Structure 1
């Protein structure tokens, strides 16, 4: 087994990801349908004169010789009057999709944007390009406001773009009267909704006033005013929700790749000096260059900024607690390179067009994968290599949870945000799957990790695998997890809860010399079923094991405030964990550990670790997907077996076994791999076999990919319908891992739905925890 895994790892390194592809790398799953192809023939759609005008404005007004990504097709659709939903990553040039049509169109394009700072930045840029624009924001003087309203009331307004906030639309009768007047006169050209993910409660930056924008379609329907919505961070669920909410479900979708190949992603263990060590690297790599350090709170911004200043680094803070003028001053100084580093909360950076940001550091954990992707996307917009590091400490997730649980939102909304947060925890805990793959596939784009591994900017996981610095392998820890669950059931009879640290220490056979508050825990620790079972584990591995049980949903943590105004998290069994303890579930549980990472080299300790089975990556994930779509697995398995028998016969073989064994075919049927590298992970596959058989295997799998995607799209619809019926996201529908999710630990844990079996931490087990 070990030799097979090593051979496969060697094959992985040698695999040439740039050869002719028959897989889905670089394509989007069936959850999205890009409409770009419909608008490729510019002359046929626009006519030669209009086409020439479009390119003339592109060059003379904006200074570009050609379009990027999906800009051209989105602009053509806009000029033809279609509703458009534009999903492009940060730095891909989304704004041009409405700015250029506004120059070519008569009338006023209304741009709805969430932040005044974003509006000011866009307005400054438009004035530099000599495009007529204005903004109606709350900080305008009465005289300036009157001047803008007068300009909009002219017979032929000389305003191409009008920027407003959703709050302004909701509160200003005068503004809505102007919209009505423009509409009657045929001069209301288009509504543009920037940062459209803010409409969806599933989004990472939901804003209630955005939900009121659904009235735009109802009011301005005769004649119909087109709507263009733009965002850099929308999953299939968020995009579907936003399009439905704006009454534009049939809008044309334009979607660009989420791959930012010039960004290097890294996750670093957060220790007292970690940030300063990273900043020293940044000073050496990018002397005098700009960067952003994202912090969880205003206080943390201040503390981090002072720490950097003490080290001679030019830094300042940016957060909502500062006066407007102070924030504007800090932003301007940073943009003009008068200061190098901004220590900011997540509001900073949205819409700011600074191409030469060389690094983005997250000092504390972001609250969602979408938010993390958007924030890191502010680095390297000029296409040059840039660095994105997340300083990870599990306790930061507890701090973030405390903030989320303190919200006044509904239970369903809090549950959704907690699930989003734990997806980030899973991303950070991951030690085996390319980080770029995890990020890109979160948004529905299929990505072959080998492309990252062989690039100039490999993520930390790919770099580790390439250098063979530390090899993480998947171990079957199911029996160990059962002992943990049984121990927790016994603990629950006599204690309100224990910390993950207590569980990890107990598992390793480590008895604390410090007196515990609960005497039962102190005196019975060595009698628990799991005591000393993890004697071969290092402290870090044991802690990761316990956290993996949280991520997988077997354990949940509840937060309690102490008398000293601090917060402690107590671990409790969930319903899923109880089923594990009593043998009601057959699911296998796997943990990635590094060879040589044990606490000691003692032979007995090593033997304890080696009692657990090492499995391949594909084997570790097979069972999960076999269960998720059992009927598809059965049909796919039968077709694959027939295909391999046919290929064997063509080669004069009496059986498919010399090509691929029974286990390998089962793994393909369960995982339905969509990239060559994922196929290569299947047991028995080699580079030669992938090159020879992948085209026919992938061709067979295509219909199953479509079926899986259709089912998941239907699940999204069910969740959205439930949300609309109950006026909140459904708490009982945690995000499930998709067929293409590739992180073994990336099972989204449902914190709120996974409640203790009976109340808040105390229950009498229905079995003998012997």
Structure 2
């Protein structure tokens, strides 16, 4: 077998030729080198972080066909459309394919004429004993791998059978990919697929192009007024409004249409044909706004969604992160807005109580509550949840734009950290607060915690404030809170540095009531009016080409590529080929058409 470095060199050339990029991101490089060395790998990359490249390029490098397990038909179609537009032989076997088409796809797969074959987790169970035995398989790729774990926010029972791939094809490398997995879910994926810890590639979960804003306890009319203003800043741009129920998707869509905003409702109660039509209208920019339940979006790879609104409070951080992650996948500035309300929390708590994992779901709900109500940089809280310490404020959330009063919280933090250490990191926040407050509960006295040095050092701080400060320490990555039933607090390396006095820590002053923050929206702006005219002309040209090809406009070129074309204004094919995101196949197919239009507009 060729050396890893040689294969990687070939992969880098294919990246430029096929997708128009000169280099891999660090996490992508680590994944590819693992796979070229034959190592099974778990890749955790943020939404928009280039996950598909991690298996699409190895599929082109390695002999045989890459088999991709994908959870949704829309996701398969989108990936196959994109690959075919880049000149890559790809197909999907699913319920939308006719018997004749399925027969032809199977024949191509057996003849080795496909580089990528997409299958649903249900379909792959059948094909284990049929098609897969008759193919040369280069690689297995399991997309949305958090669906494997019962602890994942989107568990799919069919996914839990995928360990059979490892058993039946032990010598074929496997990659599992996800953008939303906390530490518990990650470990479960590793266990089920037998992926060793050293083969986990973890990229930053940060999406700096997304602005984060939360608004607290707005009434219905106030919400709709705010949404109308928010969407008004995004003229001709696509967005999603997520709602908690089917009824609210219909209500919100109707209200927005009454206000002159093209909006449609999408939920699982609609007929399949109607759902597909609504989705196609959104993908092809015929509908600006989709008001949807979380049934919408998991399979959507539309890169130019400029805003995501949560009309209701999400039930957990994983789902929230995945849903806001559908905005700005092209890397351009995009906005998110979450409406948090106590009434939503009451309803979600009821759902959690009725679930099979009551304690876990309640705890996850608490983390959303603290994200929405805490006076700390939202991005720091979000990244901390996924195990990533972020040691500075982001400057792109409502808290950072309207910062609360802060103080040197080092000594206060050290008091709490000392209590956690002196109780051997096995106690929950309630016990830690009782110790700091000098409370004489039966359990505390039985454990002799009244004898430790930290007992009673925080008497003057009310319990509610201590709880708020402890949550700040969790959000800032100073301590960790377990999902286990006891919900014990434990130290992080960052926490030890603060306890030893090696680092200072600023905390937000907890007041009796927090004011609702405001928000300034950012929209991607082009340099000049002439640039804007050129962008709109190229956008129209892109739409005409997309209609001829019967694919969404972004499959031709996404907004980021169009913006770069406008900035560089290439007037020759050679210059056009140098635009990031334009591969050799697309340059030959569309280059002359776009160059001609640019020359006409200049």
TM-score normalised to structure 2 length: 0.69
Check whether the contact 1:668–1:682 (CA below 8 A) recurs between aligned residues: no
Aligned counterpart, 1:86: 43
- Secondary structure of 1:61's match? helix
Picking from 274, 277, 284, the partner of 2:222 is 274
Aligned counterpart, 2:251: 303
Check whether the contact 1:293–1:343 (CA below 8 A) recurs between aligned residues: yes
**Does 2:121 match 1:166?**
yes
Picking from 329, 345, 362, the partner of 1:418 is 362
CA-to-aligned-CA distance 1:15-51 (integer Å, 9 cap, x gap): xxxxxxxxxxxxxxxxxxxxxxxxxxxx97323xx44
Deviation at 1:581, TM superposition (A): 9.3
Check whether the contact 2:80–2:92 (CA below 8 A) recurs between aligned residues: yes
The structure-2 alpha-carbon separation of the partners of 1:90 and 1:389, relative to structure 1 and needing over 3 Å to count, comes to: same
Aligned counterpart, 2:145: 196
Check whether the contact 1:83–1:251 (CA below 8 A) recurs between aligned residues: no
Check whether the contact 1:473–1:616 (CA below 8 A) recurs between aligned residues: no
Aligned counterpart, 1:387: 335
Aligned counterpart, 1:54: 11
- Secondary structure of 2:336's match? strand
Check whether the contact 1:243–1:251 (CA below 8 A) recurs between aligned residues: no
CA-to-aligned-CA distance 1:69-128 (integer Å, 9 cap, x gap): 411221232223221111100001100010011111211111001111111111111111
Deviation at 1:58, TM superposition (A): 0.8
Check whether the contact 1:85–1:251 (CA below 8 A) recurs between aligned residues: no
Check whether the contact 1:189–1:225 (CA below 8 A) recurs between aligned residues: yes
Unaligned runs of 5+ in 1: 1-42, 477-550, 555-574, 592-608, 637-666, 684-770
**Does 2:96 match 1:139?**
yes
Check whether the contact 2:27–2:202 (CA below 8 A) recurs between aligned residues: yes
Deviation at 1:282, TM superposition (A): 2.1
Aligned counterpart, 2:388: 445
Check whether the contact 2:143–2:176 (CA below 8 A) recurs between aligned residues: yes
Query: What is the number of equivalent residue pairs in this alignment?
Result: 469
CA RMSD of aligned residues (A): 4.1
The structure-2 alpha-carbon separation of the partners of 1:51 and 1:320, relative to structure 1 and needing over 3 Å to count, comes to: same
Deviation at 1:359, TM superposition (A): 1.2
Check whether the contact 2:91–2:118 (CA below 8 A) recurs between aligned residues: yes
Using the alignment, how far apart are the partners of 2:120 and 2:372 within structure 1?
Answer: 35
Aligned counterpart, 1:254: 201
The structure-2 alpha-carbon separation of the partners of 1:632 and 1:616, relative to structure 1 and needing over 3 Å to count, comes to: closer
Picking from 455, 460, 471, the partner of 2:398 is 460
Check whether the contact 2:408–2:507 (CA below 8 A) recurs between aligned residues: no
- Secondary structure of 1:449's match? coil
Aligned counterpart, 2:186: 239
Using the alignment, how far apart are the partners of 2:346 and 2:440 within structure 1?
Answer: 26
Check whether the contact 1:109–1:192 (CA below 8 A) recurs between aligned residues: yes
Using the alignment, how far apart are the partners of 2:193 and 2:65 within structure 1?
Answer: 20
**Does 2:129 match 1:176?**
yes
CA-to-aligned-CA distance 1:684-730 (integer Å, 9 cap, x gap): xxxxxxxxxxxxxxxxxxxxxxxxxxxxxxxxxxxxxxxxxxxxxxx
Using the alignment, how far apart are the partners of 2:379 and 2:215 within structure 1?
Answer: 16
The structure-2 alpha-carbon separation of the partners of 1:472 and 1:382, relative to structure 1 and needing over 3 Å to count, comes to: farther
Deviation at 1:138, TM superposition (A): 2.1
Picking from 293, 299, 315, the partner of 2:241 is 293
Aligned counterpart, 1:213: 162
Aligned counterpart, 2:372: 428
Q: Pairwise mapping of residues 681-696 of structure 1 onto structure 2 (< 5 A)?
A: none
- Secondary structure of 2:260's match? coil
Q: Pairwise mapping of residues 401-550 of structure 1 onto structure 2 (< 5 A)?
A: 401-407=349-355, 410=356, 413-430=357-374, 432-450=375-393, 452=394, 455=395, 457=396, 459-465=397-403
Aligned counterpart, 2:324: 376
The structure-2 alpha-carbon separation of the partners of 1:672 and 1:109, relative to structure 1 and needing over 3 Å to count, comes to: farther
Picking from 309, 317, 320, the partner of 1:361 is 309
Using the alignment, how far apart are the partners of 2:342 and 2:464 within structure 1?
Answer: 27
CA-to-aligned-CA distance 1:461-495 (integer Å, 9 cap, x gap): 222226x6x99999x9xxxxxxxxxxxxxxxxxxx
Deviation at 1:52, TM superposition (A): 4.1
Deviation at 1:65, TM superposition (A): 2.2
The structure-2 alpha-carbon separation of the partners of 1:283 and 1:296, relative to structure 1 and needing over 3 Å to count, comes to: closer
CA-to-aligned-CA distance 1:216-235 (integer Å, 9 cap, x gap): 111112xx111100000112
Using the alignment, how far apart are the partners of 2:244 and 2:72 within structure 1?
Answer: 19
Check whether the contact 1:308–1:314 (CA below 8 A) recurs between aligned residues: yes
TM-score normalised to structure 1 length: 0.55
Check whether the contact 1:622–1:671 (CA below 8 A) recurs between aligned residues: no
- Secondary structure of 1:381's match? coil
Using the alignment, how far apart are the partners of 1:256 and 1:631 within structure 2?
Answer: 25
Using the alignment, how far apart are the partners of 1:631 and 1:263 within structure 2?
Answer: 30
Using the alignment, how far apart are the partners of 2:102 and 2:501 within structure 1?
Answer: 58
The structure-2 alpha-carbon separation of the partners of 1:73 and 1:245, relative to structure 1 and needing over 3 Å to count, comes to: same
The structure-2 alpha-carbon separation of the partners of 1:315 and 1:672, relative to structure 1 and needing over 3 Å to count, comes to: farther
Deviation at 1:429, TM superposition (A): 2.6
- Secondary structure of 2:130's match? helix
Using the alignment, how far apart are the partners of 1:128 and 1:362 within structure 2?
Answer: 33
Picking from 339, 345, 362, the partner of 2:287 is 339
Unaligned runs of 5+ in 2: 413-427, 445-449, 510-602
Check whether the contact 1:262–1:385 (CA below 8 A) recurs between aligned residues: yes
Aligned counterpart, 1:694: none
- Secondary structure of 2:313's match? coil
Deviation at 1:353, TM superposition (A): 2.4
- Secondary structure of 1:176's match? coil
Which shifted more, 248-257 or 433-442?
248-257
Using the alignment, how far apart are the partners of 2:350 and 2:440 within structure 1?
Answer: 29
Aligned counterpart, 1:679: 505
- Secondary structure of 1:111's match? strand
